[in-house]
Amino acid sequence: MFHSMNIQFTFRTLEHCMLSVEDSQPVSPAVLKVLSGAVDLHCHSGPSPFPRRLNHVEAAHDGARIGMRAILVKSHHHNTVMDLLAMGPWLADAPTPVYGGVALNTEVGGVNPSSAVAMSLRMGGRCVWAPTTCARQHRDHHSHAAAGGFPSAAIDLLEKEVSILDESGDLSADTEQILDLVAETDALLAGGHLDTESMKILFEGAARKGVRRLLVQHPDFVVGASEADVEDLLRSGAYIEHEIAMYHPEAAGPRWPVQKLVDWIERVGPERTVISSDLGQKGNPLPVDGYIHLVGALLEHGVAEKDIRTMIAVNPAFLLGLEDTAS
């Protein structure tokens, strides 16, 4: 986290950037008890070329409503570590630690070990996301109506397809170097929006190099993983993340029934499942309100408090490097 940086930054004053209490929903003591200590590995606060409802400082203050332990902020387009360093004077007073990382899309040079990954991780980054908006899987999916709910940038970003593989179908030399950097810093490697076969190759390579923290995000949205694919990814050591945005009735997206998530939890087990928000977009609920809604719904569906805490606090704390083991 970046609580002691003394970097001048032109930014809205703190009193003007805080969210109004009228923007948020209350939380019952029973739900708050379960939520306290949650770690959000998928917060889309800004700045971003995509419209965002809140910035990283606001996300940190909003997290205090439920006693969040930490937040990982994700951008598809840039290294969020630099955001946090620039916002250091404001984050120094924020109640929730915020961490950043980098996604391997065109805007950072794609699969770029030096000026993207090495700089991000060695300046405090905690996560590398495989290509997301520039992955072929995402580009194919986003070109169809089935991609409803994914935002569009207000500017032309001149994105191109990015692959982690070389012409022979093996991990490229640059990808191998990135895996070395992730292993060296004991950071989190997320599969991004890769197709499942590419993700399997990536995670198998990462596991060989000693990468301990692996994450598959929204396996049933964009990625399109089958149950057999998920079993393969679990064998590589990965955790499976499900996103609140997919299940919230007021979020842009599929608005799946909560029972679908319950079925996933029963299939994979809470010990290898993560629940994160994937919220922060303009027009969507606040990330914390998403947690309040979904945790309440899971309790109503009979999911045990201990299992929910494993998925929202214990497992993500390990993946973010706040704990050495998930226990």
Query: Cα–Cα distance between 208 and 147 in angstroms, integer?
Result: 34
Radius of gyration of the chain (CA): 18
Structural domains in the chain, sorted by start: 26-150+158-319 (3.20.20.140)
Mean pLDDT of the chain: 91
- Low-confidence winner among 8-17, 74-83, 190-199, 282-291 (lowest mean pLDDT): 8-17
Burial 270-304 (b: 16+ CB within 10 A, else e): bebbbbbbbbbbeebbbbbbbbbbbbbbbbeeebe
In the predicted model, what is the mean pLDDT of residues 298-313? 98
- Low-confidence winner among 63-67, 114-118, 219-223, 314-318 (lowest mean pLDDT): 219-223
- C-alpha 44 chain-centroid distance: 8
Q: What was the pLDDT predicted at 143?
A: 60
Whether pLDDT at 209 is above 80: yes
| Residue 305: both structure tokens together | 């408090």
Q: What was the pLDDT predicted at 1?
A: 47
Percent of the chain with pLDDT over 90: 81
In the predicted model, what is the mean pLDDT of residues 23-52? 92
Q: What was the pLDDT predicted at 254?
A: 94
Per-residue model confidence as pLDDT tens digits over 167-189: 999 999 999 999 999 999 999 99
Angle (CA) 76-77-78 rounded to 5° is 115
**Is the distance from CB of 292 to CB of 25 less than 8 angstroms?**
yes
Q: What was the pLDDT predicted at 142?
A: 67
In the predicted model, what is the mean pLDDT of residues 42-61? 97
Does the pTM surpass 0.85? The reply is: yes
Query: Cα–Cα distance between 146 and 141 in angstroms, integer?
Result: 7
Angle between helices 287-300 and 56-63 (to 10 degrees): 40
Strand order, beta sheet including 39-43: 39-43, 70-73, 98-99
Per-residue model confidence as pLDDT tens digits over 106-150: 999 999 999 899 999 999 999 999 999 998 898 887 665 444 556
Whether pLDDT at 313 is above 80: yes
Torsion region of 61: left, alpha or beta (phi above 0 gives left; psi -120 to 50 gives alpha): alpha
